[in-house]
Structure 1
């Protein structure tokens, strides 16, 4: 599984679980500030925890020393696709394009909303209402706030209602509610295909209004007068979905929450679920990576080296004991030969596999050069992308360079080559290091 796919899986699983916990247990409660903290934490944690290597932070048993494999592994004879063979449909690549396209559309939409707000700011003019600095709007829109600025058209309100609007928007500004809104919008851009992120965005916007309503009413304001003002203000057009409006539909939900009795302190225990939820998510994906299939992983000894294999060190026959004595830091590369390739490189042998080890000190030894040329002769060049350094070359040019090549070439499978070079490497790629 690719790193991006694994990241998206982890992040979206977390978003779903946080949304379930919020709507099932926390939304009915009147602890609105705690709900705000929960929702912000849910969005931030879901985005960041997949990036942390939890397994590396946990104590565990020491892993056996394994020889590095810096060169393409098992040399086996595999029929290559012809140059005229039709390309297979890349499902993962297509889904990646759809994901990126959806995110790009929503990102452009977000930028458009920000530009619309900037244009509205430039059309407005500074003013004062009841000692509060505002931006005076000429258009008939509902009063709102964004960042640390309140925007409204005083002519749209009666004097009593105007005071309520100012008090309402002052709470939004004082508590920096625009940060929450922008965070939710960015989460939608990143995980737009997940219904949970849309629910969390709505929950966050809704909860911010619950916070403001609660604080405004705690000042001793008559709740019915406040609710009637919200009802009348709902007839005005909203300015932008990014801003904090005086009214936020549905009003029925807000009025119901205003008239709801405060939640009992006993219900605070529900927030304790956050601890096992975050720990469970953090540990669920921690641990060793997927094991190699049995068909490709040779039996290994306690030191991590294959059993019953021929050993060659720097092009010369050696024993497993010689290999065990090598310092891994001194090893330049390891090849594992199996099948028909074994006889082509080492001649007649009854062995079924061989371990070819090259040390950094003897990379240019005559025996190593001779061995590398035999290995290079096994690489299938037909229909593959051929590169010398970072420059694509023809088959004839590549074969000419290959004849004098003393180092091993790098052969990439079709899947790995397409990830690195795109559609032009449909049949795989072969690379020679250095510039042409």
Structure 2
């Protein structure tokens, strides 16, 4: 899991960097959208793809370093205990054994397990937050009047908010709607979001934000796609 997260994060950073420096200032929005979505999918799938190993993989190298460190620590602790026993000092043997036992306990600490526990805790919290947001949208659909506009449904909100969409639903302020204060360009912009299914893009990003909750690049990806 640790190696998967590291590889995916590196791929995310590389592909977003390419977008930021070469594509973000271009007005070819459809191509940019396809690129950003493809970058997310590739970054997520890349760790499962077996690439030719010209040099030892990062995972194997990390495992070798970790095993060498554990072996070195075990040897040092064993030598310390052997030297302590050779001193044959009965009155001082107990503190020495206690110190050596503490070192053994420290060496038995598993960083991957600790990292995994922290990661899954964050995954749980961000997933719960995402479900709360979806439930909030469900309440908006349930508690506010709607108008059928053919290709989409208009949801009239009491709050003074900017228009936004979620799949086939277009949410607008009822006061702005009645006063015809919403500009035609905004109607066309939001209608295009519905026709092109942009809600699927945002939904994908939100799911990946739960998986990569520790990665600030996901915030940049969501902003770029929006």
For the criterion TM > 0.5, the same-fold answer is: yes
Query: Is 1:123–1:137's contact at 8 Å kept on the other side of the alignment?
Result: no
1:182 aligned residue: 203
Q: Distance in 2 between matches of 1:29 and 1:100?
A: 38
**Structure with the higher fraction of residues in strand conformation:** 1
Please give the per-residue CA displacement for 1:329-353, whole angstroms capped at 9, x wherever unaligned. xxxxxxxxxxxxxxxxxxxxxxxxx
Please give the per-residue CA displacement for 1:199-258, whole angstroms capped at 9, x wherever unaligned. 2222112xxxxxxxxxxxxxxxxxxxxxxxxxxxxxxxxxxxxxxxxxxxxxxxxxxxxx
Q: Distance in 1 between matches of 2:23 and 2:170?
A: 30
Please give the per-residue CA displacement for 1:267-316, whole angstroms capped at 9, x wherever unaligned. xxxxxxxxxxxxxxxxxxxxxxxxxxxxxxxxxxxxxxxxxxxxxxxxxx
Number of aligned residue pairs: 179
* Structure 2 CA distance for partners of 1:30 and 1:189, relative to 1, 3 Å: same
1:166 aligned residue: 187
* Structure 2 CA distance for partners of 1:159 and 1:53, relative to 1, 3 Å: same
2:113 aligned residue: 93
Deviates more, 1:105-114 or 1:162-171: 162-171
Query: Is 1:192–1:198's contact at 8 Å kept on the other side of the alignment?
Result: no
2:34 aligned residue: 37
Query: Is 1:39–1:200's contact at 8 Å kept on the other side of the alignment?
Result: yes
* Structure 2 CA distance for partners of 1:195 and 1:111, relative to 1, 3 Å: same
1:73 aligned residue: none
Q: Distance in 1 between matches of 2:9 and 2:38?
A: 14
Unaligned runs of 5+ in 2: 54-74, 79-96
Q: Distance in 2 between matches of 1:141 and 1:16?
A: 33
* Structure 2 CA distance for partners of 1:132 and 1:39, relative to 1, 3 Å: closer
1:153 aligned residue: 173
Q: Distance in 1 between matches of 2:148 and 2:206?
A: 31
CA drift at 1:54: 3.9
Alignment of 1:287-298 (within 5 A): none
Unaligned runs of 5+ in 1: 57-77, 206-436
CA drift at 1:128: 4.5
Q: Larger C-alpha radius of gyration, 1 or 2? A: 1
Alignment of 1:33-432 (within 5 A): 33-55=30-52, 85=101, 87=105, 88-128=108-148, 133-157=153-177, 158-159=179-180, 161=182, 163-205=184-226
Aligned-residue CA RMSD (Å): 2.8
Q: Distance in 1 between matches of 2:22 and 2:45?
A: 24
2:19 aligned residue: 22
CA drift at 1:129: 6.3
Query: Is 1:36–1:204's contact at 8 Å kept on the other side of the alignment?
Result: yes
Q: Distance in 1 between matches of 2:11 and 2:20?
A: 14
**Structure with the higher fraction of residues in helix conformation:** 2
Query: Is 2:165–2:193's contact at 8 Å kept on the other side of the alignment?
Result: yes
